[in-house]
Structure 1
Amino acid sequence: MSPGLRTDEKPTERVVEAARAPLDLMTRLAGSGLFTDHVVYERPGRWTFAGGVLGEVVLDSGAVHARWPGRAPETAPYTGRPAAALRETFAAAPLPAWNAYGWIAFEFASARPSGRLAHFVVPRVEVHVEDGAARIAGADPRDVERVADLLAADVPPAPPAPSPVDVREGGDVYRARVARAVDDIAAGRYQKIIVSRRLDVPYPVDVAATYACGRAANTPARSFLLDLGGFQATGFSPEVLASVDDGGRVMTQPLAGTRAFGFGGDADARTRRELETDPKEIFEHAVSVRTSQEELYRVCDPDSVHVTGFMTVKERGSVQHLGSSVGGVLAPGRTCWDALDALFPGVTASGIPKAEAIEAIGELEERRGLYAGAVAAVSHTGALDAALVLRALYNENGQAWLRAGAGIVSGSTPDREYEETCEKLSSIAPYVCKALGVRR
Structure 2
Amino acid sequence: MTVTDERVRILDPAAAVSALASAQRFGEYVVYERPGQWVFAADPLGGIELTAEELRVRWADRSTTSRWTGTPAQALDRALAELPTEGRTAYGWLAFEFCAWSFEATAHVPARTPLGFLMIPRIEVRLDGNGIEVTGATAEELELIHQLVEQAQQTAMPDPFPVDITPDPTGYRDRVATAVREIRDGRYQKVILSRKVELPFVVDVPATYRLGRAHNTPARSFLLRLGGLEAAGFSPELVASVDDTGMVTTEPLAGTRAFGRGDAADRAARADLVTDPKEIVEHAISVQTSFAEVAAVAEPGSTAVSDFMAVRERGSVQHLASTVRGRLAADRNSWDALESLFPSVTASGIPKRGGVDAVFRLDRDPRGLYSGAVVTVSPEGELEATLVLRAVYQTTDGAWIRAGAGIVAASTPAREFEETCEKLGSVAPYLVAG
TM-score between both structures, scaled by the size of structure 2: 0.94
Alpha-carbon distance, 1:33 to partner: 1.2
1:86 paired with 2:85, answer: no
C-alpha distance in 1 between matches for 2:138 and 2:294: 40
C-alpha distance in 1 between matches for 2:23 and 2:154: 10
Structure 1 residue aligned with 2:426: 427
Return 390-399 or 190-199, whichever deviates more: 390-399
C-alpha distance in 2 between matches for 1:170 and 1:371: 18
- In structure 2, list runs of 5 or more residues that go unmatched: none
Alpha-carbon distance, 1:126 to partner: 0.4
Structure 2 residue aligned with 1:72: 62
2:30 aligned residue (16, 25, 39): 39
Asked whether the 8 Å contact 1:12–1:141 carries over to 2, the reply is: no
C-alpha distance in 1 between matches for 2:8 and 2:37: 12
Structure 1 residue aligned with 2:230: 232
Residues 178-222 of structure 1 show CA distances to partners (whole Å, capped at 9, x for unaligned) of 000001101111110001000011111111111111100000001
- In structure 1, list runs of 5 or more residues that go unmatched: 1-10, 436-440
Structure 2 residue aligned with 1:438: none
Q: What SS is found at the alignment partner of 1:164?
A: coil
Asked whether the 8 Å contact 1:194–1:408 carries over to 2, the reply is: yes
Alpha-carbon distance, 1:243 to partner: 1.2
Structure 2 residue aligned with 1:53: 44
Q: What SS is found at the alignment partner of 2:279?
A: helix
Amino acid at match of 1:136: V
Residues 107-138 of structure 1 show CA distances to partners (whole Å, capped at 9, x for unaligned) of 00012134111011111100111123111111
Amino acid at match of 1:174: Y
1:96 paired with 2:86, answer: yes
1:386 paired with 2:385, answer: yes
- 1:330–1:322 Cα change, 3 Å: same
Structure 1 residue aligned with 2:370: 371
Q: What SS is found at the alignment partner of 1:26?
A: helix
Q: What SS is found at the alignment partner of 1:107?
A: helix
Asked whether the 8 Å contact 1:138–1:144 carries over to 2, the reply is: no
Amino acid at match of 2:3: E
Asked whether the 8 Å contact 1:125–1:144 carries over to 2, the reply is: no
Structure 2 residue aligned with 1:296: 294
Asked whether the 8 Å contact 2:4–2:131 carries over to 1, the reply is: no
Asked whether the 8 Å contact 1:193–1:352 carries over to 2, the reply is: yes
C-alpha distance in 2 between matches for 1:390 and 1:171: 20
Question: Within 5 A, what are the aligned runs for 1:92-241?
Answer: 92-110=82-100, 111-112=105-106, 113-114=109-110, 115-138=113-136, 140=138, 142-153=140-151, 155=153, 157-170=155-168, 173-241=171-239
Asked whether the 8 Å contact 2:258–2:422 carries over to 1, the reply is: yes
1:250 paired with 2:248, answer: yes
Alpha-carbon distance, 1:302 to partner: 2.4
- 1:150–1:265 Cα change, 3 Å: closer
C-alpha distance in 1 between matches for 2:317 and 2:169: 19
Amino acid at match of 1:81: T
Amino acid at match of 2:419: E
Amino acid at match of 1:375: V
Alpha-carbon distance, 1:156 to partner: 6.0
Alpha-carbon distance, 1:76 to partner: 2.0
1:356 aligned residue (354, 368, 378): 354
Identity across matched positions, percent: 50
Return 310-319 or 353-362, whichever deviates more: 353-362
Amino acid at match of 1:253: E
Amino acid at match of 2:77: R
Asked whether the 8 Å contact 2:27–2:44 carries over to 1, the reply is: no
Q: What SS is found at the alignment partner of 2:171?
A: helix
Amino acid at match of 1:41: Y
Asked whether the 8 Å contact 1:204–1:398 carries over to 2, the reply is: no
C-alpha distance in 1 between matches for 2:205 and 2:377: 24
- 1:121–1:17 Cα change, 3 Å: farther
- 1:421–1:335 Cα change, 3 Å: same
C-alpha distance in 2 between matches for 1:151 and 1:417: 42
Amino acid at match of 2:226: L
Amino acid at match of 1:419: E
Alpha-carbon distance, 1:139 to partner: 6.4
Return 327-336 or 148-157, whichever deviates more: 148-157
Amino acid at match of 2:269: T
Return 377-386 or 318-327, whichever deviates more: 377-386
C-alpha distance in 1 between matches for 2:137 and 2:332: 31
Q: What SS is found at the alignment partner of 1:47?
A: strand
Alpha-carbon distance, 1:96 to partner: 2.5
Asked whether the 8 Å contact 1:136–1:148 carries over to 2, the reply is: no
- 1:361–1:205 Cα change, 3 Å: same
- 1:170–1:289 Cα change, 3 Å: same
C-alpha distance in 1 between matches for 2:251 and 2:114: 26
Residues 27-46 of structure 1 show CA distances to partners (whole Å, capped at 9, x for unaligned) of 11111111120111101111
C-alpha distance in 1 between matches for 2:412 and 2:22: 43
Amino acid at match of 2:409: S
Q: What SS is found at the alignment partner of 2:165?
A: coil
Asked whether the 8 Å contact 2:93–2:369 carries over to 1, the reply is: yes
Alpha-carbon distance, 1:14 to partner: 3.6
Asked whether the 8 Å contact 1:25–1:151 carries over to 2, the reply is: yes
Amino acid at match of 1:228: L
2:341 aligned residue (343, 350, 355): 343
TM-score between both structures, scaled by the size of structure 1: 0.93
